[in-house]
C-alpha cells in the first residue's frame, strides 16, 4: 500500500479554520461570556448571544451558500460550537440546534422546501428545532406515537414530542410522525416542517433542568394540526431514515459542545491553581495537581481529535461516519463530565460555589452524555457497526 500526504489531511487544521476560531473566541468572550452566569441563574434564553451570533454570521454557519448561508464546512461549524460552548453551553445550542433542525431539509428535502425555509434561517430570522423524541419513544424512536394522516393534499398531525430544544423560540420545526400505522416498523415515519403559527400547535411548560438552563426545553403538542403536503421533507415513509442520517452528522456537533465545555473548565482550573497558594507555594507546583491537569488536557485533546476526524468524515459523507459520529460524541461527552468534575475538585470549596463558572460547566456537561442518543445507545450503535464488519 502506498501512503500519500493526502491520507493525513484528516488531521490538518487549515489557517482559515484557525482564523475562524480566533474570530469566534473574540465574539464569545466579548459578547456571550459576560451574560452566561445571569442566563443560567435566570434560566432565560441567551438573547445577547443570539444577537451576537446573528451579527457575526455564526448563527447558522452550516447553511449552504446557495440558500444565502456562509456555507461553513462541518469542521468549521464544530469550531463555532466548541468556542461558544467554552464560555456558555446554552448559547452554543443556538448554532447546534439550528443545524439539527434544518439538516433533514439539507439532506432530503425538495428544492422548493429548501428555498422556502433555509434562507430565513441563514439570515437569523428564526431558529430551527427538531422534533423526534417522545415520552415513551426516546432511545426507541421507531415506537413513536405521533401520527399524521393524509387528508386530501394535506396531512393532519396529532400527538406530542418531548425534550425539544429551543421550543417556543423557534419558528420552524422538523417533526417526525407515523404516517402508516400498519406499515413496517422503521419505514412508516415521515418528516414534516411545522411552523409555529400553525393552528393547533402549542407548547408545554419549560422543563426545569440541571444544566443548559438558558436553552428552553419544552414539549410540542399537536391537536389536528393541518400541514400542507408541500411541507413533507423527503419521501413519505423515509422519515426515520432521514432522522438517523441526521443524527450521524449532528452527534459530531454534540462532541464539539462537549470539548468546548471541557476546554473552558480546564482553562479556569489552570488559571486558578497558578494563583492559589497553600503551604507557602502555588498549588500548581504540587505534583498531584500537575498530574490531574496533565490527564485533563490529554483527554480533552484526544476528544478534540476524535471530533475533528468525525467532522471531516461528516463533510465527505464517509460510510463509516455512523461509527465515528457515535464514538466522537460518546468519548467527548464522557471526557467533558470527567474534566469538569476534576476542575471543580481543583478549586475545592470555591469550585462548588457560583462565584466561579465551574459548577455551571459541570452541570451543563451532563446533558452531553444524554441527548442525541445516550452514551449507552452510542455504544450500541458502535457495536452494531463493528459486527457488520
Catalytic center residues: 372
Cell of 64: 449552504
- Maximum distance among all Cα pairs of the chain, rounded to whole angstroms: 80
264-290: string of b/e by CB count within 10 Å (b at 16+)? Answer: bbbebbeebbeeeeeeeeebbeeeebe
Residue 173: its H or E element: strand 172-178
Helix ranges (H only) for the chain are 15-27, 33-42, 47-55, 74-85, 89-108, 111-122, 239-275, 287-316, 321-347, 358-367, 375-388
Interatomic CA distance for residues 251 and 326, integer angstroms:
7
Half-sphere exposure of 175 (CA within 13 A, CB side): 36
Interatomic CA distance for residues 239 and 350, integer angstroms:
48
Amino acid at each position: 500500500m502506498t501512503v500519500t500526504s493526502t491520507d493525513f489531511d484528516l488531521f490538518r487544521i487549515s489557517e482559515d479554520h484557525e482564523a475562524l476560531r480566533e474570530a469566534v473566541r473574540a465574539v464569545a468572550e466579548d459578547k456571550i461570556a459576560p451574560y452566561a452566569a445571569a442566563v443560567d441563574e435566570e434560566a432565560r434564553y441567551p438573547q445577547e448571544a443570539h444577537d451576537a451570533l446573528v451579527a457575526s454570521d455564526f448563527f447558522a454557519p452550516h447553511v449552504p451558500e446557495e440558500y444565502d448561508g456562509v456555507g461553513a464546512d462541518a469542521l468549521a461549524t464544530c469550531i463555532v460550537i466548541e468556542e461558544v460552548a467554552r464560555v456558555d453551553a446554552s448559547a452554543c445550542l443556538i448554532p447546534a440546534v439550528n443545524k439539527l433542525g434544518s439538516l433533514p431539509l439539507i439532506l432530503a428535502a425538495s428544492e422548493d422546501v429548501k428555498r422556502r425555509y433555509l434562507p430565513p434561517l441563514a439570515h437569523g430570522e428564526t431558529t430551527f428545532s427538531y422534533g423526534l423524541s417522545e415520552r415513551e419513544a426516546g432511545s426507541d424512536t421507531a415506537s413513536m406515537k405521533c401520527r399524521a394522516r393524509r387528508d386530501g393534499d394535506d396531512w393532519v398531525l396529532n400527538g406530542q414530542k418531548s425534550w425539544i430544544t429551543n421550543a417556543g423560540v423557534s419558528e420552524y420545526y422538523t417533526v417526525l410522525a407515523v404516517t402508516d400505522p400498519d406499515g413496517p416498523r422503521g419505514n412508516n415515519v415521515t418528516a414534516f416542517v411545522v411552523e409555529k403559527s400553525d393552528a393547533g400547535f402549542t407548547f408545554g411548560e419549560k422543563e426545569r433542568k440541571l444544566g443548559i438552563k438558558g436553552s428552553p426545553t419544552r414539549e410540542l403538542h399537536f391537536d389536528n394540526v393541518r400541514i400542507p403536503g408541500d411541507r413533507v421533507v423527503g419521501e413519505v415513509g423515509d422519515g426515520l431514515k432521514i432522522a438517523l442520517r441526521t443524527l450521524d452528522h449532528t452527534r459530531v456537533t454534540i462532541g464539539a459542545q462537549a470539548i468546548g465545555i471541557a476546554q473552558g473548565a480546564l482553562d479556569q482550573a489552570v488559571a486558578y491553581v497558578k494563583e492559589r497558594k497553600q503551604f507557602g507555594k502555588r498549588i500548581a507546583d504540587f505534583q498531584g495537581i500537575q498530574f490531574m491537569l496533565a490527564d485533563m488536557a490529554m483527554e480533552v485533546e484526544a476528544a478534540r481529535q476524535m471530533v475533528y476526524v468525525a467532522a471531516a468524515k461528516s463533510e465527505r459523507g464517509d460510510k463509516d461516519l455512523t461509527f465515528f459520529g457515535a464514538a466522537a460524541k460518546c468519548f467527548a461527552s464522557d471526557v467533558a463530565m470527567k474534566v469538569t468534575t476534576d476542575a471543580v475538585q481543583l478549586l475545592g470549596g470555591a469550585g462548588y460555589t457560583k462565584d466561579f463558572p465551574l459548577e455551571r460547566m459541570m452541570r451543563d456537561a451532563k446533558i452531553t452524555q444524554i441527548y442525541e442518543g445516550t452514551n449507552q445507545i452510542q455504544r450500541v450503535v458502535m457495536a452494531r457497526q463493528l459486527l457488520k464488519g
